[in-house]
Amino acid sequence: MIDFSQFSTLSVGLIIFGVFGLSFLIQLWYYLGYFSRLAFYKKKEHAINTPPASIIICARNEDHNISDFLPKIFEQDYPNFEVVVVNDCSFDNTGDILKEFSKKHTNLKIVTIKEDDYYSHGKKVALMMGIKGATHEHLLLTDADCKPNSEKWLRNMTQHFTNETEIVLGYGAYEKQKGFLNKIIRFDTYMIALQYLSFALARKTYMGTGRNLAYKKSLFFKMKGFASHYHIESGDDDLFVNEAATKQNSKIEIDIESHTVSRVKKTYRNWFRQKRRHVTTFSRYNFGSKFRLTTLSISQYLFFVSFIMALVVQFQPIVVLSIFTLRLLIQILIFNKSMSKLDEKDLLFLSPIIEIILLVIYPMITLSNIFMKKNKWK
């Protein structure tokens, strides 16, 4: 007689192992086919290129950040640039502080938006006003709570502009502080950058971060600004890049001197709220971007779930552990090289643990967006 119980156990084990093997191969494809591009990226030498540039910053009740960080903007080693600050309905001391800065810096342009009882708006309106008010063709965007990593930030970002290159993607880091939350936030930021910078190197640009992003003013108006997603609160950076980027018009800049550094959230609640706002734009990405990111995410979940299940049913445990270890070693290699380039190498040791934590947190963020009210630009 045939022992169907053994046959059933074997079949389940084969299915689990098949899922595990397939998800491993997909992960391998992403790490070696895409993420290795950033890990082993070597910047090409560029001719000296310093076109007149406009730095645009939107500020709503940012008096403390403006006081701390705006001086770093004016210290840029660059021949011809202006700083456009949009004072978006601030009711703190932002306006007064900007007036004091304007007495010292003739290249500061202040655009003021007044509060309107009959009309509310998000950050996209403020950014659009800043772009319209900018004098120059080459725009560099950052946030009020960001500071450039060096006086060569502007020079490094704008050097990539050519007749063909219209978008330059930079890295927006967060302050390094004590505490596990800080490491979670910074690792999440690093992983997002690993993806969008690597895909850009593969000519599949899909997003950028408004903390450190440059593009041409003419491109903004050619794309009709934020018209196609104006009704969505987020997306002033990633959705615009997702629509405007082509295989030829985007470059990256990752030199440590070109980074920006932002103040980091202090509580899990505030960071969770920020993440809720950021993930709402994913559904608006083009099909290719959504397919690549979804495949990557699903393969991660399947890899870890099938790994645990394979160990539970004890199906080829030595082979399963060997494959898991191989994936971990490849991941550490890629992380080590790319984290060095993005100045995040202190995260390497904890990266496997934080990766799993984020796999738990992201579904919670998605579910909260379904059942809770959305956040607004503040």
pLDDT of 10 reads: 67
Reference 62, options 86, 38, 82, 36; nearest CA is 86
pLDDT of 2 reads: 46
pLDDT of 3 reads: 52
Report residue 44's pLDDT band, with 50, 70 and 90 as the boundaries.
confident
Residue 149 to residue 72: CA distance in whole angstroms: 9
Q: List 108's β-bridge partners, or say none.
A: 83
Report residue 282's pLDDT band, with 50, 70 and 90 as the boundaries.
confident
pLDDT of 377 reads: 46
**Chain-wide mean pLDDT for the chain?**
92
pLDDT of 11 reads: 85
pTM of the predicted model over 0.85: yes
Has residue 38 got a pLDDT over 80? yes
pLDDT of 218 reads: 97
Reference 141, options 241, 273, 64, 286; nearest CA is 241
Are the CB atoms for 234 and 278 separated by under 8 Å?
yes
pLDDT of 5 reads: 52
Average pLDDT over residues 260-280: 87
Average pLDDT over residues 170-195: 97
Q: Which two tokens stand for residue 344?
A: 């995040």
Beta pairing, strands 250-252 & 172-174: unpaired
* 362 against 372, higher pLDDT: 362
pLDDT of 232 reads: 84
pLDDT of 369 reads: 76
* 371 against 207, higher pLDDT: 207
Are the CB atoms for 185 and 265 separated by under 8 Å?
yes
| Lowest mean pLDDT across 36-40, 251-255, 307-311, 362-366 | 362-366
Residue 126 to residue 11: CA distance in whole angstroms: 59
pLDDT of 117 reads: 55
Exposure letters 109-139 (e unless 16+ CB within 10 A, then b): bbbebeeeeeeebbbbbbbbbbbebbebebb
Report residue 9's pLDDT band, with 50, 70 and 90 as the boundaries.
low
Average pLDDT over residues 230-242: 89
Has residue 324 got a pLDDT over 50? yes
pLDDT of 81 reads: 97
Are the CB atoms for 246 and 301 separated by under 8 Å?
no
Q: What percent of the chain has pLDDT over 70?
A: 94
Q: Which two tokens stand for residue 361?
A: 């947190």
* 10 against 164, higher pLDDT: 164
Instruction: Look up tokens 């950050």; give the residue.
Output: 123
pLDDT of 279 reads: 79
Residue 187 φ/ψ, nearest 5 degrees: -70, -40
Are the CB atoms for 148 and 260 separated by under 8 Å?
yes
Beta pairing, strands 138-143 & 108-113: unpaired
Has residue 95 got a pLDDT over 80? yes
Residue 45 φ/ψ, nearest 5 degrees: -70, 140
Q: What percent of the chain has pLDDT over 90?
A: 79
Has residue 83 got a pLDDT over 90? yes
Has residue 4 got a pLDDT over 50? no
Average pLDDT over residues 310-316: 91
